[in-house]
Structure 1
């Protein structure tokens, strides 16, 4: 599969005839802005009163970015290309996918009042472009592991991964764990096959997996699904920036991923002390399901916790939650040493978790030691009993037996801990989110009427 085809697997096909010159008359540019239906659904004007993504770097692991596009100029860092020729990644002139993702995240429009062109959801965020592959779909180094580590080491707090692949190797899992260890939120698309086949990196533990929602508020017909999906975002008929001064329109979970990355940037800007998992917690707890519910306890395999609502995530009173929030703790695997035949880091973790010693002592030896200790303890008990019969009276230390009243040394009566005394706010308070006519809580629109969608029903059926 070529690099372009790999990206399309998440992005969907660009609609024919949808490219429009950015230097066209104002009516054309206004048409592009008016076509950004997701901004109206999100209530982007109100969102910008609370956060614009300032001081947050979002890495875009993709095809590279056209940093000279009029709607992106000034918001794109140099980045790095991991393709064979190397160099920066902000001068992309062949593939428009990365530019489109960057614009949905941090586009700032152009013209008087920046009223024309593409406006991103987090227009003050900075984009760190990282080209991950050559156009023949070949990786250089260890898959996306090196690009991801580069993003983490160069200041990214959110990483957008709008691509899919069949699996992840040990180096890539280690890179994901490295990112979460450095408090970086990873966001990836589910894919556009419309089935439950796991696609990576979205299916990897530690990654926030995103599906697509259509204009009518239902799950987009080609959005893949599964137990790892956590959020939905607009992914149908999405206008965005292209190469040169052009624009494009496309469908896919790739665009939805970019919107969730932008929402994460907004939250990270306003709440810089939250961990990556706690940012994900805010996004998932304020999302709304296609049947109008919010703050659900268990994600659906079709739509996760629901459609992201950035305005709610920025304004609701949400407990911070645990370090990883709704994310699964990442897995780490390392290659087994061929020279020594030693256990991998993953093997060591399994041994510790299962209670094994990991020292390599044969079970028969351990059993023998246990028997010896048992016999020795029995002998001690017999000796003590005989001495007590000979001497009489209680052991020293008073009537309590072990140094004081009640027979306890240093063990006070059990006290209930704070975790037992504090009521949990998760699922206890009635939610008002589902009562709003618009799930984004801003203005009435097509999202106001969600038909019920059975969780187990495949999308598009």
Structure 2
């Protein structure tokens, strides 16, 4: 049942993202750049963005149907990757367009004189790690185990941003563990909300704690009417009439949250390149704190169920003076704990014991037999009995004064004791509010030379 639902929903999500408005005929490559309206939009201003960062040094995993790494706008920017279901590389896709399109929006570099032709991604200096999952001929997810393996492969092979422009309506426990594994390794996972215009059909993947859920907006910054919505939407980005590269044809035009997801992943790559010491949550924090809203939404309670905290503004995210904030930022911690050993390829989560330490711990734990456990339990009972007798005697003798160490007992004034209890795990603050009228900060000096 689960696999059937997955097949239908993912087919709808992927195909809608690719073909909802059909494939627009495009006469020549030199017209492509003009059709990439997000790059010249006020909220993007790509030319200024690239003076701050191009995403160099960052690897973005694209979990999809594979990528055509030989496309002239992607050549040299796509790693071999892996088909996690059938084996082999994932950079030789020729049958399906979707993964190539997402890769081009993230790290396309154009071609021709001065790279003025073809598709330009928002993070042209980034590298794409394609991770191919099993897709049917209709673009649907064909193997329920593929996603888990894909996420773990991406994490273990150096991706710090994972783009998931597919729809998985129901996550199995192992897949939830894979997301938790990515979060534990400080990897930012970005997923689309889906293309049904519904609050009921937003997938488990997009709603998962630790995942940045992305809706789609048009040129005017208005939410696309087919963008799924709900309380877990975090951000929105351009996703209407988006021009991108293809595998079966050179270029295509489409609408969907797939495209908006790719633009958020690209912006995350820009930020991870410029601010390498920030955590994934702190990167999300910069995206949230600098997001914008259309005029009729100013002052709205955030996060909005359609826009989240607003549409991304990459230049502001790169240049505004935003305090780093807490490690998790606006991301909630996954409820499921990661399982480091399952398909992890040997990587270890930060702060987790190395494999040798785990083995040593297992051996130590297995050394206690049943008799030893019974003996320890008996000893504990004897100690408890002694304490009860002493307390009873103390009450009979009327000795009910202050305990040792002065008032408050151990830890009270002047006495030794335990440190005061520390606050528990980071709690999410209230919604990040927009700051209309906040002072504009001067752009930070670029960390990389222009054109890098």
TM range (shorter): 0.7 to 0.9
Please name the residue that 2:312 is paired with: 308
The verdict on how the C-alpha distance between 1:296 and 1:377 changes in structure 2, with shifts beyond 3 A counting, is farther
Please name the residue that 2:395 is paired with: 382
SS in 1 for 2:398: helix
Deviation at 1:149, TM superposition (A): 0.1
Between the aligned partners of 1:385 and 1:430, the Cα distance in structure 2 is 63
Between the aligned partners of 2:242 and 2:439, the Cα distance in structure 1 is 26
- Any conservation in 1 of the 2:55–2:270 contact (CA below 8 Å)? yes
| Higher deviation after alignment, 41-50 or 282-291 | 282-291
- Any conservation in 2 of the 1:192–1:222 contact (CA below 8 Å)? yes
Please name the residue that 2:94 is paired with: 93
Provide Cα deviations, 1:387-430, integer angstroms capped at 9, x if missing partner: 99xxxxx9999xx7899xx9742489x9xx9xxxxxx9x97995
Structure 1 consecutive aligned stretches of length 4 or more whose deviation exceeds 6 Å: 292-297, 371-375, 394-397, 400-403, 426-429
SS in 2 for 1:49: helix
The verdict on how the C-alpha distance between 1:374 and 1:260 changes in structure 2, with shifts beyond 3 A counting, is same
- Any conservation in 1 of the 2:90–2:132 contact (CA below 8 Å)? yes
Q: Of 147, 152, 155, which aligns to 1:149?
A: 152
Q: Of 201, 214, 226, which aligns to 1:222?
A: 226
- Any conservation in 2 of the 1:171–1:333 contact (CA below 8 Å)? no
Please name the residue that 1:64 is paired with: 66
TM-score (norm: length of structure 1): 0.73
Between the aligned partners of 2:23 and 2:404, the Cα distance in structure 1 is 95
Which is greater in Rg? Answer: 1
| Higher deviation after alignment, 242-251 or 177-186 | 242-251
- Any conservation in 2 of the 1:3–1:134 contact (CA below 8 Å)? no
Provide Cα deviations, 1:308-336, integer angstroms capped at 9, x if missing partner: 0110110011111111111110121699x
* Structure 1, unaligned runs of 5 or more: 336-367, 389-393, 418-423, 437-461
Instruction: Give the alignment of 1:3-42 within 5 angstroms.
Output: 5-8=11-14, 11-20=17-26, 28-41=28-41, 42=44
Instruction: Give the alignment of 1:188-227 within 5 angstroms.
Output: 188-197=191-200, 198-227=202-231
- Any conservation in 1 of the 2:243–2:252 contact (CA below 8 Å)? yes
Is 1:161 aligned to residue 174 of structure 2?
no
Please name the residue that 2:285 is paired with: 281
Between the aligned partners of 1:194 and 1:240, the Cα distance in structure 2 is 23
Deviation at 1:288, TM superposition (A): 0.9
Deviation at 1:2, TM superposition (A): 6.6
SS in 2 for 1:99: helix
TM-score (norm: length of structure 2): 0.75
Deviation at 1:67, TM superposition (A): 0.5
Between the aligned partners of 1:139 and 1:375, the Cα distance in structure 2 is 64
Between the aligned partners of 2:432 and 2:141, the Cα distance in structure 1 is 46
The verdict on how the C-alpha distance between 1:435 and 1:377 changes in structure 2, with shifts beyond 3 A counting, is same
The verdict on how the C-alpha distance between 1:382 and 1:11 changes in structure 2, with shifts beyond 3 A counting, is same
Instruction: Give the alignment of 1:255-266 within 5 angstroms.
Output: 255-266=259-270
- Any conservation in 2 of the 1:10–1:252 contact (CA below 8 Å)? yes
The verdict on how the C-alpha distance between 1:175 and 1:30 changes in structure 2, with shifts beyond 3 A counting, is same
Between the aligned partners of 1:161 and 1:257, the Cα distance in structure 2 is 8
Please name the residue that 1:459 is paired with: none
The verdict on how the C-alpha distance between 1:298 and 1:332 changes in structure 2, with shifts beyond 3 A counting, is same
Between the aligned partners of 1:18 and 1:120, the Cα distance in structure 2 is 19
Is 1:134 aligned to residue 135 of structure 2?
yes
Deviation at 1:383, TM superposition (A): 3.5
* Structure 2, unaligned runs of 5 or more: 1-6, 340-380, 424-428, 442-452
Is 1:432 aligned to residue 437 of structure 2?
yes
Please name the residue that 2:294 is paired with: 290
Deviation at 1:6, TM superposition (A): 4.3
SS in 2 for 1:48: helix
The verdict on how the C-alpha distance between 1:294 and 1:327 changes in structure 2, with shifts beyond 3 A counting, is farther
Between the aligned partners of 1:10 and 1:141, the Cα distance in structure 2 is 21
Between the aligned partners of 1:36 and 1:231, the Cα distance in structure 2 is 20
- Any conservation in 2 of the 1:6–1:163 contact (CA below 8 Å)? no
Give the CA RMSD over aligned residues.
3.7
Please name the residue that 2:111 is paired with: 110
SS in 2 for 1:152: helix
Between the aligned partners of 1:326 and 1:395, the Cα distance in structure 2 is 45
